[in-house]
Amino acid sequence: MKFEFGTGISSYQVEGAYQEDDKLPSIWDTLSHSDGNISDKSNGDIATDFYHRYEEDIQLAKELGIQSFRFSFSMCRILDKNGRVNHKGIEFYQRVVDCILQYGMEPVVTLYHWDLPQFLQDKGGFTNPEIVDYYAKYVEVVAKEFKNKIKTWITFNEPQCFIGLGYSGREHAPKIHASLKEMILATHHVLLCHAKAYQILKGINPKCVVTFVNTFSINIPLVEDRELEDYCYNHTFESPKNENEFYNTVIYTDPLYFGRYPADYLALAASQDVTFSKEDMMTIKLAKPDRIDINIYSGNYFAKDENGNISMQNLVKEEEITSFDWLRARPKVLYYGPKYFYQRYHLPIVISENGVCYDDQLEDDKVHDPNRSKFILEYFSQLKRAIKDGIDVIGYYYWSLEDNFEWAYGYSKRFGLVYIDYEHGLKRVKKDSFYTYKNLITETRNG
Ligand code: GBH
């Protein structure tokens, strides 16, 4: 079966070297350096030191047998405050990209995975339309630099988090309380940044793939039932009603794939005196991503009572517990998630992230994590079921290649297939699940 397997990491979560080679400070440097934001009081100053140890990690990925090596460029390393190119930053990513290519994998680059230069945040971040030009400049530089080496570009990772949570004061940088109007503007500017990037990337290499990563918590019908499933589908694509509901998908996916905002969202925007120009909407419409990338981890059950009323169920089964409350091991999300998105947008789908964290223990240079192995196999079998039902899923990336800085939770949450021994020189140790995923890849591709 021709299918693309991958893993993911992101710049701030692994690179470290936070002041090296003239990197600008990012909003995550700021957040993690001020008290009370990261549960284990850590920061990404060193992280897993991918900045210096990338070759070791790329080699591990090769051993795993993946085709796509997903990682991100940090804008903070590419341009300075005046928009001049930082060649040392470019050279670092050249080394990484060359190494991935040498090992026979494809580099899949996320252009923005949350580490905005702090100086841009000081000007309002995504609420300020000026960000569109700066982002476009950045994209132009890397598009030219990596023209012949990078085929697949992801313009953004999860605006649900960096806008939805980060601009409503919840856990993510910049951790500000934006008004409803500012949320709407920030959302729009992210879409314009994407659209500009799309134009630039396709202009420089018409054959490249340009995509955008969304995430959402998937609504699972507790029993198979047409009406219940329809409800779950509709509920997935509901618009926000206030500034606290921007952990939302449809306000991104409808403009990206249909070139328009949902009608009720336009009414919400109008209530804040925001209208979107024809020109902006045309720019967005002309930048339809080549495929649908979604990060799917977990979801909620819905059921019908005896009166036919449908509601969310608060049940948690023992085997669903992981070390995060938001992450319940519910494999069916990889069946219903792709189904809902395919039903609405009808484009090839890549599961750009899926993974789990457990409290892994290192014993005698080994990490036995049967729960993660089980997670991977059960989730993947649901994805295969979706494929059998005709859903065009073309790839799956496990998050993450290695344990890393899990944002507001620091190093306390481990998602990796490779264990990082933070106490002993950041030593890399392959967990048992590394081999589970490796075998799954071999079997699927040979089968
Ligand atoms: C992804 O984010 C990221 O792309 C990646 O960097 C990260 O390491 C990975 O997942 C693992 O977390 O329902 O309101 O409680 C997903 C992070 C997960 C953050 C869900 C918000 C729950 C919001 N998000 N979480 S809520």
Q: Based on DSSP, count helices (H) and strands (E) in the chain, helices before strands.
A: 16, 13
**In terms of residue numbers, what domain contains 16?**
4-446
Cβ(102)–Cβ(43) below 8 Å: no
CA-proximal residue: ligand 1, atom 14 (nearest): 247
| Ligand 1 center to 291 CA (angstroms) | 22
Q: Which two tokens stand for residue 70?
A: 């997903």
> Residue with structure tokens 């070139």?
259
The percent of residues in the chain predicted with pLDDT above 70, rounded, is 100
- Structure confidence at residue 290 as a pLDDT band (50, 70, 90): very high
Q: Which two tokens stand for residue 325?
A: 């409350």
Q: What is the mean pLDDT of residues 315-329?
A: 97
Q: What is the mean pLDDT of residues 308-335?
A: 97
pLDDT of residue 1: 64
Averaged pLDDT of the chain: 98
Exposure pattern of 253-279 as b/e (b: 16+ CB <10 Å)? bbbbbeeebbeebeebbeeeeeebeee
End-to-end CA gap in the chain: 6
- Structure confidence at residue 418 as a pLDDT band (50, 70, 90): very high
The per-residue pLDDT for range 186-202, each reduced to its tens digit, is 999 999 999 999 999 99
Catalytic residue among 182, 353, 402, 406: 353
Told to judge if 158 belongs to the known catalytic residues of this protein, a careful annotator would answer yes
DSSP conformation class of 253: H
CA distance 320 to 124: 40
Told to judge if 353 belongs to the known catalytic residues of this protein, a careful annotator would answer yes
One-letter amino acid of 306 = E
CA distance 2 to 16: 35
The per-residue pLDDT for range 370-404, each reduced to its tens digit, is 999 999 999 999 999 999 999 999 999 999 999 99
**Domain total in the chain:** 1
Whether pLDDT at 165 is above 70:
yes
DSSP string, 39-94: TTS--SSSTT-HHHHHHHHHHHHHHHT-SEEEEE--HHHHB-TTS-B-HHHHHHHH
The per-residue pLDDT for range 21-35, each reduced to its tens digit, is 999 999 999 999 999
pLDDT of residue 2: 73
Q: Which residues pair with 79 in a beta bridge?
A: 85
Name residues contacting ligand 1 (CB within 6 A): 10, 13, 157-158, 161, 165, 215, 217, 247, 295, 326, 353, 399, 406, 415
Three-state SS across 276-317? Answer: CCHHHHHHHHCCCCCCEEEECCCEEEEEECCCCCEEEECCCC
Whether pLDDT at 335 is above 80:
yes
Please provide residue 115's backbone torsions phi and psi, each rounded to the nearest 5 degrees: -100, 70
CATH number at residue 36: 3.20.20.80
Q: What is the mean pLDDT of residues 279-308?
A: 98
The per-residue pLDDT for range 358-373, each reduced to its tens digit, is 999 999 999 999 999 9
CA distance 167 to 163: 5
Whether pLDDT at 212 is above 70:
yes
pLDDT of residue 437: 99
Q: Which two tokens stand for residue 355?
A: 């993974």
- Mutate which of 294, 399, 405 for ligand 1? The one with the most ligand atoms within 8 Å of its CB, which is 399
Cis, peptide link before residue 277, omega less than 30° from 0: no
Task: Please state whether beta strands 418-421 and 427-430 pair in parallel, antiparallel, or not at all (unpaired).
Answer: antiparallel
